[in-house]
């Protein structure tokens, strides 16, 4: 795979992830306790023998850049090849080159691709969760002698409106590509994985730039079907687009069942990430943990059921965490209950709080399209006062303090922001 360059598109704003993507790029959102979402694409590259990787960030890139560093956890801190971050830039004439779409992000870096001296370019999305050996797809691309190969996988029919949908002929040639069709003619979805012959990629993007086309899924690929040999490569393993709160929550919950289809423990598909030395998990005399992922540094004196805990979470005696995801350095105080909720880093849940309370599933008034499945989200650094009751589909903004709650009852579908603002 020495003649392959992997380009990981990591500029997504992540609005559908609500407060989890405030202040961080979507690929930098924590996942499965110890990882970030981008770890899966980077680890897949290394596990596939691809040593030239470029990450293309844009929105809130600081945490993503800090996480990637020089690429050491993925063995990408190399003199030849290795990892490069390709930020938007200001040209010599003072023009700011923001990336206006996925294809635009690649077009603005064609000079880097040319300098990389590769034959194929593997384009990846940095916000999907899966393990895949790309070398098998690239080998198939070469053997078939095609110009472009698209990774495709079957998705549930009721989710097809979230994806680009592909129709293949009997020889796996792409004959139709429709972005989020209604009604769909197929449930075969694009994975956002493309293998391009380098010269074809240059020709496609130069033509697209002249015509103002900016996005691979909705514009570039459909336009290229009649001009190039495009083949679909069907992937039959676990693949999850975690771009919504519900999908993100479900992908985490998929990991805690007895025999998960997505297995983090396969040595040949190891997911790598920066690690910080922490002591082992400590369980108190009355701790109860069942069907959960609990990261190093956690201290559990209460109950944790069907949940995912990141490093250094403290669950005090009498507290319950059920069907929830809790990020780093969060404290769940005595007798508090967290149910079907996602808590970002450094939150403090005071004694007696109830998060995800009651049977009212009213969608969130501010984000009805994103917060409507009963999951409550609490932003980074929020501090919740004692005995607070927070309903379903609520949004607690980052850095909210005890004084920002004008009442100890936050009805389902409400949002709480700074300076005593309750939006119901």
Largest CA distance in the chain: 68
Closest CA to 356 of 329, 323, 331: 323
Q: How far apart are the first and last CA of the chain?
A: 54
Plot region of 359 (φ>0 → left; ψ -120 to 50 → alpha; else → beta): alpha
CA–CA dist 158, 201 (Å, integer): 33
Mark out the alpha helices in 48-158 (DSSP H runs). Answer: 62-68, 102-107, 110-116, 134-144
Instruction: Name beta bridge partners: 341.
Output: 376
- E strands, 198-281, where? 230-234, 239-241
CA 205 to chain centre: 26
CA distances to 6, 244, 345 from 60, rounded to whole Å, are 22, 18, 17
Closest CA to 154 of 216, 247, 235, 252: 235
Which CATH number describes the domain made up of 4-253? Answer: 3.90.550.10
Mean pLDDT of the region 369-374 = 96
Per-residue pLDDT, 11: 84
Enter the pTM of the model.
0.94
CA 387 to chain centre: 33
Q: What percent of the chain has pLDDT over 90?
A: 86
The CATH class for the domain spanning 277-423 reads: mainly beta
Tell me the pLDDT tens digit for each residue of 254-311. 999 999 989 899 888 999 999 989 999 999 999 999 999 999 999 999 999 999 999 9
Instruction: State the span(s) of the chain assigned CATH 2.160.10.10.
Output: 277-423
Give the CA radius of gyration of the chain: 22
Quote the Cα angle for 59-219-243, to 5°. Answer: 40
> Is a pLDDT exceeding 80 seen at residue 350?
yes
Closest CA to 49 of 117, 121, 1, 119: 1
Half-sphere exposure (CA, 13 Å, Cβ side) for 291? 14
pLDDT band at 344 (very low <50, low <70, confident <90, very high): very high
Q: Return the minimum-mean-pLDDT range out of 35-44, 207-216, 357-366, 388-397.
A: 207-216
Residue showing tokens 């030849």: 80
CA–CA dist 315, 307 (Å, integer): 12
Instruction: State the span(s) of the chain assigned CATH 3.90.550.10.
Output: 4-253
Q: Dihedrals φ, ψ of 348, to 5°?
A: -125, 115
> Is a pLDDT exceeding 50 seen at residue 424?
no
């Amino acid at each position: 795979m020495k003649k392959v360059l992997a380009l990981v598109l990591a500029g997504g704003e992540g609005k559908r992830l609500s407060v989890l993507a405030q202040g961080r790029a979507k690929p930098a959102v924590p996942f499965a306790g110890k990882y970030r979402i981008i770890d899966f694409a980077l680890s897949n590259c290394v596990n596939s023998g691809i040593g030239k990787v470029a990450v293309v960030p844009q929105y809130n890139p600081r945490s993503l850049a800090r996480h990637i560093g020089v690429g050491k956890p993925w063995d990408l801190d190399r003199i030849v090849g290795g990892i490069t971050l390709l930020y938007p830039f200001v040209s010599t004439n003072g023009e700011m080159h923001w990336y206006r779409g996925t294809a635009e992000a690649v077009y603005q870096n064609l000079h880097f691709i040319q300098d990389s001296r590769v034959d194929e370019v593997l384009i990846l999305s940095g916000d999907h969760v899966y393990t895949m050996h790309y070398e098998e797809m690239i080998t198939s691309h070469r053997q078939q002698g095609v110009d472009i190969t698209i990774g495709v996988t079957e998705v549930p029919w009721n989710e097809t409106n979230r994806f680009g949908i592909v129709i293949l002929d009997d020889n796996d040639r792409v004959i139709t590509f429709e972005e989020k069709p209604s009604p769909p003619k197929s449930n075969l979805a694009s994975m956002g994985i493309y293998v391009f012959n380098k010269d074809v990629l240059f020709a496609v993007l130069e033509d697209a730039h002249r015509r103002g086309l900016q996005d691979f899924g909705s514009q570039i690929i459909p336009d290229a079907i009649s001009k190039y040999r495009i083949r679909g490569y069907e992937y039959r393993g676990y693949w999850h687009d975690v771009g919504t709160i519900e999908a993100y929550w479900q992908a985490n919950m998929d990991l805690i069942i007895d025999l998960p289809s997505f297995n983090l423990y396969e040595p040949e598909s190891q997911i790598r990430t920066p690690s910080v030395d922490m002591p082992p998990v400590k369980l108190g005399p009355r701790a109860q943990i069942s069907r959960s992922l609990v990261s190093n540094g956690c201290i559990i004196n209460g109950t944790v059921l069907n949940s995912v805990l990141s490093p250094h979470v403290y669950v005090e005696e009498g507290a319950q965490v059920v069907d929830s995801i809790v990020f780093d350095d969060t404290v769940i105080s005595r007798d508090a209950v967290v149910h079907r909720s996602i808590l970002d880093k450094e939150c403090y849940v005071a004694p007696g709080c109830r998060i995800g309370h009651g049977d009212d599933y009213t969608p969130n008034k501010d984000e009805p399209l994103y917060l409507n499945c009963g999951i409550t989200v609490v932003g980074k650094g929020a501090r919740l006062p004692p005995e607070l009751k927070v309903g379903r589909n609520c949004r607690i903004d980052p850095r909210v303090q005890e004084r920002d709650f004008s009442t100890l009852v936050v009805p389902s579908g409400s949002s709480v922001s700074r300076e005593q603002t309750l939006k119901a």
